[in-house]
Structure formats: structure tokens, C-alpha cells
């Protein structure tokens, strides 16, 4: 449905669309509950047999488990579509009815932009469920050597457990409302409504990993692969000063995301994402200085601080969906395979966002606060790389 002044102000049409989408969301919710119950009744009952028969049962288990996650991903895709479709007419019911015809055109344009932002957030969830369904083929079933007659389910690092690390709330409500207040007086209500829909979505789907784990807790001892993220939090990287300055400017002078950026500015951001990623891949703490010009075009930046700037610079990574499984996959690729970037699931434009998110979540959270406070209001002077006073213990697994 393409919403415009005519369609939104046609009460019968608007109410029909709202009713249909709301009805669809309820049906999808019931279908999801039914799918959970179905999985409960159809779960594979493992019986102790010799190794070949055990592996045959394990193959059936993996196929059913993968089918379960594929079905959830399909339901999530449908739900995300209807949630996005609900946003504009629902917002009009709540706040747009009193908007004058002169203002309504701009109001619709802004609501469509908020809808795009919500869809980007929901896309990250969808990608995670799709990745989870594909990772099931790497699950292994074996006898527990410490408890003969009992089984161990070994799951890879990139499994459904990562879904619980998805953000609980949308980050743009409080941050963007003030920025957009002058342009759109109802910006706060717009972002709050999108946040409410996301929260409903998040709570509902966050139960999926927990439910499926309880199904098999009596059959298996579940062992998850552990991974210790290499501690490079004290590293400094030599990166292009123009791109760092772009991040600094975006932090110091954030713009309302509802505004249309010039095409040149959009291209510049994409180019800087690619350039920063190239610099990060090089892992070079120093660049040979052959001329004064070469020196002025580079700057040494602490890795944690660079990750924080990339993630928090509004507009730099805002249009890249947040897939937790992809973030961890890309970070593992970056830290364990520095010479082989072909393992990345993100493209070159998005990789800096994906890996930066993983670095912040799994390594630099506490230390980034110190770095940011150390930089303070001096960002415009590019005084980066402030040493961290304390070294926290390494992260084991994902604790």
C-alpha cells in the first residue's frame, strides 16, 4: 500500500488496512505458538543405540530443528512486513488526524522514513533466524563420556543462542527526537510508536531460543562452542583522516535522520565505510611517511574508539541491519583469518559496521567509556588513541 494524503484520509480504506494487518499479526502469532507446540510433540526421542543408529537419529534431529527455524524465519518475515505496514496508518490514527493538509505531505514522508528505519531493525532479526536455521547442520550429537548412556549436543558458536544478544530497544527514540523536533514536532511520537512495535516484536521472538532449548534439556547436555575474542583493544590503527573527520563531524553535529541528505554526502559515507574497512584489514599501526602530505592524510586511532565512533555516528551504520550472528561471524573472520577476508558474510561497504558492533559487544564495552570520556570535547582535534588505564580479563565465550 502506498500511503498518500488521499488514501490516509479515506477512513474506510485506512480502517480496512489496519484491520487486515492487525488480523494477520494475530494469525501469525497463533501460527507461531502452534509451531512451537508442534515441535514439542514431534521432537526426536533419542534411544541409546550403537553409533551408526545414533547418528541416523541425529540427522533426523538436525533436519527437524532446521525446519523449525526456517518456519520461524518465514513467520518473522511475514510479521515484520505487517508490522511495517501497520506503522503509517496507525500513526495517522494516533497523531496525524489533526495535521493540516499543508503539513500532511511532509508528515507522510517522515513517517515513511521512520518505517524504513524500523524495517532495517527487523531485517536484522530476520537475518539472524535465517542464519540460525543454516547453522543447525553443524550440530553434533555424541555420547557423554563422563555419563555413559547420556548424550551431548554440541552447538557451534554461530547458533541460536546469539539471538538473545539482539538489542532490546530501538536506539533512535531519545537520540533522534530532539534532533528532529524543529523539522517535525511529532518526531518523538513517531519514533516512540516505532519503538513500541519493535519492543512487542522483540519480546515475542526472544522467547524462541529459550523455548527450543527447554524441549531437549532432558535429552541432552548442551555444550556451546566457546570463543575468546583476541584482545586487540589497545591497538592503534592508521586510518584515513578524512574518514575519521567524517565520523567526528557526525558525532559532534548529528543530523535528523528524516532529512534528505545530498547524494554526494551519501556516497561519501559509503566510500568512507569501505576505506575504513580497508584500513582495519591492513592492521597497520604505522604508515611509512614519505612526504608531509602523506603524514597529514593519516591518523592513528585506537581500535575500540574507532569501533565506537563507527557504530554511534548517526547515518554511518544506521542503514546496516544489525544481525548478531553475522557480527560474530565477521569478527571471528577478522581476528582469526587476517589474510583471508573471503570468509566475510558482509560486503565491503557493511563490514566495518558489522565487526565494530561485535568488537563493542564482546570486547570493548567498558573501555570505550573511558576512551570517549578521555576524548571529551576535543574530537575536532583528532586526539585519539588515549591509553586505557586498566586491562579487564579476557572474554571467555560470550559471558
pLDDT digits (tens, 9 = 90+) for 285-306: 555 556 555 556 788 888 889 9
pLDDT of residue 174: 66
Lowest-confidence region among 153-157, 228-232, 363-367: 363-367
Q: How far are the Cα atoms of 181, 223, 260 from residue 92, in angstroms, in the given order?
A: 18, 49, 22
C-beta of residue 169 within 8 angstroms of C-beta of residue 176: no
pLDDT of residue 114: 92
Q: For residue 342, with 0-12 CB atoms within 10 Å meaning exposed, 13-18 middle and 19 or more buried, which class applies?
A: exposed
Q: Widest CA span of the chain, in angstroms?
A: 76
Which grid cell sits at 352? 566495518
Percent with pLDDT over 70 in the chain: 84
pLDDT of residue 154: 93
At residue 168, does pLDDT exceed 50? yes
Helical residues (DSSP H) of 226-288, grouped into ranges = 241-252, 263-282
d(CA 373, CA 362): 20
Which grid cell sits at 47? 534411544
d(CA 185, CA 255): 15
pLDDT of residue 294: 57
How does pLDDT run across 234-268, given as a tens digit for each residue? 778 888 888 999 999 888 888 888 888 889 988 99
- Residue 340 DSSP code: -
At residue 373, does pLDDT exceed 70? no
pLDDT of residue 48: 63
pLDDT of residue 290: 60
Domain boundaries, the chain: 5-224, 236-381
Residues in the chain: 399
pLDDT of residue 389: 30
At residue 52, does pLDDT exceed 50? yes
How does pLDDT run across 329-364, given as a tens digit for each residue? 998 888 887 666 777 878 878 899 999 998 888 877
Amino acid at each position: 500500500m502506498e500511503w498518500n494524503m488521499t488514501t490516509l484520509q479515506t477512513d474506510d480504506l485506512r480502517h480496512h488496512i489496519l484491520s487486515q494487518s492487525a488480523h494477520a499479526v494475530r494469525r501469525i502469532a497463533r501460527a507461531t505458538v502452534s509451531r512451537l507446540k508442534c515441535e514439542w510433540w514431534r521432537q526426536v526421542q533419542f534411544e541409546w543405540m550403537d553409533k551408526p543408529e545414533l547418528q541416523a537419529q541425529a540427522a533426523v534431529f538436525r533436519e527437524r530443528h532446521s525446519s523449525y527455524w526456517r518456519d520461524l524465519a518465514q513467520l518473522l518475515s511475514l510479521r515484520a512486513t505487517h508490522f511495517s505496514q501497520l506503522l503509517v496508518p496507525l500513526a495517522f490514527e494516533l497523531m496525524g488526524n489533526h495535521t493540516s493538509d499543508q503539513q500532511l505531505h511532509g508528515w507522510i514522508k517522515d513517517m515513511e522514513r521512520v518505517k524504513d528505519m524500523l524495517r532495517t531493525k527487523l531485517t536484522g532479526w530476520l537475518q539472524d533466524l535465517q542464519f540460525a536455521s543454516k547453522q543447525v547442520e553443524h550440530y553434533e550429537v555424541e555420547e557423554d563420556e563422563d555419563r555413559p548412556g547420556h548424550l551431548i549436543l554440541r552447538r557451534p558458536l554461530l547458533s541460536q543462542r546469539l539471538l538473545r544478544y539482539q538489542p532490546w530497544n530501538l536506539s533512535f527514540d531519545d537520540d533522534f527526537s530532539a534532533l528532529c523536533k524543529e523539522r517535525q514536532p511529532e518526531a518523538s511520537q513517531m519514533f516512540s510508536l516505532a519503538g513500541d512495535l519493535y519492543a512487542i516484536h522483540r519480546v515475542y521472538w526472544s522467547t524462541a531460543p529459550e523455548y527450543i532449548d527447554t524441549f531437549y534439556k532432558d535429552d541432552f547436555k548442551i555444550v556451546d562452542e566457546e570463543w575468546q575474542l583476541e584482545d586487540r583493544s589497545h591497538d592503534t590503527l592508521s586510518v584515513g583522516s578524512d574518514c575519521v573527520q567524517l565520523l567526528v563531524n557526525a558525532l559532534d553535529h548529528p543530523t535528523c535522520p528524516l532529512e534528505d541528505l545530498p547524494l554526494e554526502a551519501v556516497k561519501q559515507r559509503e566510500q568512507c565505510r569501505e576505506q575504513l574497512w580497508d584500513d582495519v584489514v591492513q592492521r597497520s599501526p604505522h604508515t611509512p611517511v614519505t612526504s608531509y602530505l602523506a603524514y597529514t592524510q593519516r591518523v592513528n586511532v585506537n581500535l575500540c574508539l574507532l569501533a565506537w565512533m563507527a557504530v554511534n555516528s548517526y547515518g554511518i551504520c544506521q542503514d546496516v541491519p544489525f544481525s548478531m550472528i553475522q557480527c560474530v561471524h565477521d569478527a571471528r573472520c577478522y581476528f582469526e583469518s587476517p589474510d583471508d577476508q573471503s570468509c566475510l558474510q558482509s560486503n565491503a561497504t557493511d563490514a566495518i559496521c558489522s565487526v565494530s558492533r561485535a568488537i563493542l559487544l564482546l570486547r570493548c564495552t567498558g573501555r570505550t567509556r573511558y576512551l570517549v570520556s578521555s576524548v571529551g570535547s576535543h574530537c575536532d582535534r583528532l586526539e585519539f588513541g588515549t591509553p586505557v588505564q586498566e586491562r579487564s580479563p579476557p572474554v571467555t565465550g560470550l559471558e
